[in-house]
Structure 1
Amino acid sequence: MFRILRDSFWGQIVYHASGKKLFQNPEERPDFVLPEKYILNHSSLAGDTINRKPSGNSRTSTDLPEDLSSDIEKTGNESSEDTNNENADPSSGYIIVDWYGPDDPENPHNWPIMKKVFLGAQIGFLTFSIYVGSSIYTPGILEIMEDFKISQVMAILPLSLFVVGYGIGPMIFSPLSEHPKVGRTYIYIVTLFIFVILQIPTALSKNIGSLLALRFLAGFVASPALATGGASMGDVFSYSTLPIGLAAWSISAVCGPALGPLIGGAFAQTIGWRWTIWALACISGGACAFLSLFLPETSTATILYRRAVRLRKLTGNQNIRSEGEVSLNSMTVKEVAVETLWRPFEITLTEPVVFFLNSYIALLYACMYTWFEAFPIVFNEVHHFNLVESGLAYIGIIVCCIIACGFYLYFVRIIWVKKLEAGINMPPEIHLVFGIAGSIIVPVGIFLFAWTSKESVHWIAPIIGSGIFVAGAFLVFQATFNYFGGSFFRYLASVFAGNGLFRASFAAAFPLFATPMYKNLGPTEFPVGYGCTIIGCICVAMISIPITLRIFGPKLRARSRYAN
């Protein structure tokens, strides 16, 4: 718990405000013993620094793991032999900071399992508190139309702009989270705090113009969790167990928009549409308060950068650098800007694997958002549900998603985790098997929803159809995310940022024409029949994407400059 509090947002504030006397790191405590590789060839170090003695159970330099100790060359000659040190960069003379051995507790991959679960739960809570903001607004659309004297399309636009905002934001925030001096936690907390503050003027909006602007800004600053959350899971979970972390994260991403209409419906029906925004402020505010206290930094580049700063201060040796620092120091400001801000666009547009899977994911995501328009037609107009009852219809999506997650984790354990743990090399294309299965399930759910949405058919039938669709979409999402994780692990935040932009672009556009599409195409007996059928037929055509990548994926990855 001490390390969690120390590395949290408020822990870092207390640390710096106290002059680094509270929440100290190992290198700042009197019992710390400097590993020998940082002492070699630096006789100018102060004697009291080199000769610090251990106390208690602290690890001495002779206690270093064999694989690290064997790399240290014993020498007292202060010469240019830094170039012979395996921890020094041959061209620059830098000593590269690394972990203090394979069991270093500061390495996120070495965290106890309960700490990893706690981290995953926080990322899930953060993701939910943002995603719920997209759909929590929708039950109040009719009241907004009356208050502001606007059309239905105009009333839906704040939903679309919110989604556009959180699609654009990761293109900036996600690459910044990979910067060693920034990291992930600061971006999460600062942007979430701004998001909470923006809900106040949003709830008090007097006209549609201010509502549109504030919803876009809220979506923009809310965006880091929606793309970088997957990268945070990659920080702490090993390659073999990453599918488990991503699956848990995805569940929260589904629960957010699915529970939004239920929560928003309860407030819109009893108090008014403005309280849907106040409810969002309470949810996201609670997340901000909790995470600022307990969300630790997970970025390896940032953790090692901070360690390098402390070691430089401890030793006085300015040649001690983290690998991220060395990379940044070799680049100009322009090159850094291009590398960090352009990278998500470049990977998305130049990598065929990423482009086609992003297109497919975007379509599935857009289908889910069209249901924010289809569900009121089916359950309010056809089955005469009130707002709360209509919101409860989304529960079927969550239930089926959890069931699909259970099956997915069971089979991924058999065909992926166990084989990797046994030392069998598994290509990331194996995940696309789940993508193919999910792509077949998806249109089944869409067609069932389309042609059971009539008054003479029990309301449970379209709910089952929507659940089947989401179960299939969940498998496609997991296949895609894990395929990206296995193929582009070093640039995962940038890859997810590009994926988020694709998803948001489609999801923002579809709700704007969904209602006219359903009502104009009909037929009267099945009000969403032809509209959903068109989407279902497109999904049938998209089945070819995971099949093609399952066959040709290795060749495409071999040509990539970004793939692992």
Structure 2
Amino acid sequence: MSNRSASTASVTIPVQIDQTEKNVSKEIGQDPASAPDPFQVFLEPTEHPQNLSSLRKWLAVIVISSSALCATSASSIASFTEIAVAEEFHVSHVVTILSISLFVEGLGVGPLLVGPLSEVYGRNIVYQVSYTLFFAFSWPVAFAPNIAVYLIFRFVTGLCGSAFLSVAGGSVSDLFSDANVASPMALYTISPFIGPVLGPLISGFINQNLYWRWTYRVQLMWIFAQYLALFLFVPETYVPVLRKRKAERLRKSTGELRYYAPLEKSDRSLFVAVLVSCYKPFQLILFDQMALLLDVWSALILGILYLTFQAFPIIFESGHGFNMQSAGLTFLGIGFGMMLAISTQPLWNRHFLRQRQKFEGSPPPETRLIMGQVGAILVPVGLYWLAFTTYPHVHWMVPIIASVPFGSGIYFVFTSTFTYLVTAYRPIAASAMASNSALRSIFAAVFPLFAGAMYSKLGTVGATALLAGLTTIMAPLPFVFYRIGHRLRQSSRFAVH
């Protein structure tokens, strides 16, 4: 992105416009090659965000990804505070579990609002305002005088941190071309799922040695560091907004008021955009079976991941005598599995390149489900292995190793599902992702609430085996859709044909 001054002496519409600018312009109905209006503003190649230096682009991706990591780790960082919070505020343990559930609900609801905002005001202002509010509203959590304030602001902070689950993927795709986006997108994709695994690890260390409120005080420090990094290292990347800003500079510097960007001519109100973003995802769930089943599958797996924040303390504290600090470290197995999975990304990149060549540049969306097929096998295998090694007489390292394939499977399932939804429902990709986010947030919020009762009634073996059975039932989905997905898309009113 160019930061050149607005005081340019003379202005002409550039003849050379890069391919990315053409593609973006076509998406919003403005093709620079055919536009006769000399006052319509386009970006020069040097002004396009994809032409920033590799260092600036990767630094922006790292900051965005670490901000997503911070926001999602805040969801599970409450896991080892629950007993102390229950004692201080004189409530039951189930009530304090709501601190995780409400935060996750905030993460699920927020994208319905911030998605349309980012398409009107740009990515960067959404990030900055989001983290400003995330930081401000984390103070009432850290210094809550009662359980009501604590729970209300847990929901509010989840709402504020949700921008990095809906807008951030757009920033990554803004910065990199289709041919180069896979690796940075893989880094961003893994961050929101490493976050919930990192939360209990941090929380375990803090609550083993300090008062529970220090959990949120440490989190405040991290949020503030991310807040500064967002201001310093992340540029605006949304091309329609960059064109709008350029038009404003030109009108000011030249006095010619006829310069404009297409975004300024849009007659679509923000209210309508928010309304569409609210009802379209649910319309997709209700009337498209393929989207519904894939959303339920990924939601079930995320629900199980959040359920482990209650299950692992039962397995390792009660069964193996671990303290909080050691129990937090048991989540490293899931995290290691995720990192192991992301390390295979170069192999998948080569596979998808071969698919592009095979289908002459336009492979069907179903090719993305191959990664999901691997995940569909690994998730139940990991859970069955975990289930039958939770006995106290089995060495504690064995169930931790069992969680490694579970973590790898999570990454493969989500990466596959996300890329499939975006490509198969390209005209309404934002709504497809929002529908997935809404279901995932519901499952992730509800599952921890019944974890204690389920493990108490069924035991660690029976409860974990039940979860493994549910994922086994859903496992055929990527195999089935790989075979018949094309036919289902032909009859869908939302998917590309």
Aligned pairs for 1:170-185 (under 5 A) are 170-179=111-120, 182-185=121-124
**Does the alignment pair 1:436 with 2:373?**
yes
Q: Is the contact between residue 69 and residue 195 of structure 2 (CA under 8 Å) also seen in structure 1?
A: yes
Match of 1:415? 351
CA distance in 2, matches of 1:429, 1:468: 24
Mark the CA change 1:119 to 1:67 in structure 2 (over 3 Å): closer, same or farther: closer
Q: Is the contact between residue 124 and residue 236 of structure 2 (CA under 8 Å) also seen in structure 1?
A: yes
CA distance in 2, matches of 1:539, 1:187: 36
One-letter amino acid matched to 1:433: I
Displacement of 1:489: 4.5
Q: Is the contact between residue 240 and residue 421 of structure 1 (CA under 8 Å) also seen in structure 2?
A: no
One-letter amino acid matched to 2:302: Y
Match of 1:275? 214
Question: Which range moves more in the overlay, 335-344 or 394-403?
Answer: 335-344
Match of 1:288 among 218, 223, 227: 227
Aligned pairs for 1:512-531 (under 5 A) are 512-522=449-459, 528-531=460-463
Q: 1:143 aligns to what SS in structure 2?
A: helix
Aligned pairs for 1:122-521 (under 5 A) are 122-179=63-120, 182-314=121-253, 316=255, 318-326=257-265, 328-329=266-267, 331=268, 335-407=272-344, 409-417=345-353, 420=356, 424-489=361-426, 491-521=428-458
CA distance in 2, matches of 1:273, 1:547: 46
Match of 1:99? 43
**Does the alignment pair 1:546 with 2:478?**
yes
Q: Is the contact between residue 241 and residue 417 of structure 1 (CA under 8 Å) also seen in structure 2?
A: no
Displacement of 1:562: 6.2
Q: Is the contact between residue 487 and residue 563 of structure 1 (CA under 8 Å) also seen in structure 2?
A: yes
One-letter amino acid matched to 2:128: I
Q: Is the contact between residue 246 and residue 478 of structure 1 (CA under 8 Å) also seen in structure 2?
A: no
Pair member with larger Rg: 1
Kindly tell me the number of residue pairs found equivalent between the two proteins. 485
CA distance in 1, matches of 2:54, 2:457: 53
Q: 1:239 aligns to what SS in structure 2?
A: coil
Mark the CA change 1:443 to 1:65 in structure 2 (over 3 Å): closer, same or farther: closer
CA distance in 2, matches of 1:495, 1:416: 22
Displacement of 1:233: 1.8
CA distance in 1, matches of 2:240, 2:306: 36
**Does the alignment pair 1:109 with 2:46?**
no
Mark the CA change 1:305 to 1:552 in structure 2 (over 3 Å): closer, same or farther: farther
Displacement of 1:482: 1.6
Instruction: State TM-score, norm by structure 1.
Output: 0.80
Mark the CA change 1:31 to 1:241 in structure 2 (over 3 Å): closer, same or farther: same
One-letter amino acid matched to 1:97: V
Identity over aligned pairs, percent: 31
CA distance in 2, matches of 1:298, 1:65: 17
CA distance in 1, matches of 2:19, 2:457: 70
Displacement of 1:319: 4.7
- Any unmatched runs of 5+ in structure 1? 7-23, 37-60, 69-82, 523-527
CA distance in 2, matches of 1:149, 1:211: 13
Q: Is the contact between residue 9 and residue 254 of structure 2 (CA under 8 Å) also seen in structure 1?
A: no
- Any unmatched runs of 5+ in structure 2? 21-30
Q: 2:144 aligns to what SS in structure 1?
A: coil
C-alpha RMSD of matched pairs (Å): 2.7
Q: 1:139 aligns to what SS in structure 2?
A: coil
Deviations, residues 460-512 of structure 1 (Å, cap 9, x unaligned): 11111212111111101111122233234454444333322211110000000
Structure with a larger share of its residues in helix: 2
One-letter amino acid matched to 1:410: P
Instruction: State TM-score, norm by structure 2.
Output: 0.90
Q: Is the contact between residue 228 and residue 493 of structure 1 (CA under 8 Å) also seen in structure 2?
A: no
Match of 2:27? none
CA distance in 2, matches of 1:227, 1:336: 15
Match of 2:26? none
Displacement of 1:222: 1.1
One-letter amino acid matched to 1:34: T
Displacement of 1:205: 1.3
One-letter amino acid matched to 2:53: P
Mark the CA change 1:66 to 1:195 in structure 2 (over 3 Å): closer, same or farther: closer
One-letter amino acid matched to 1:35: I
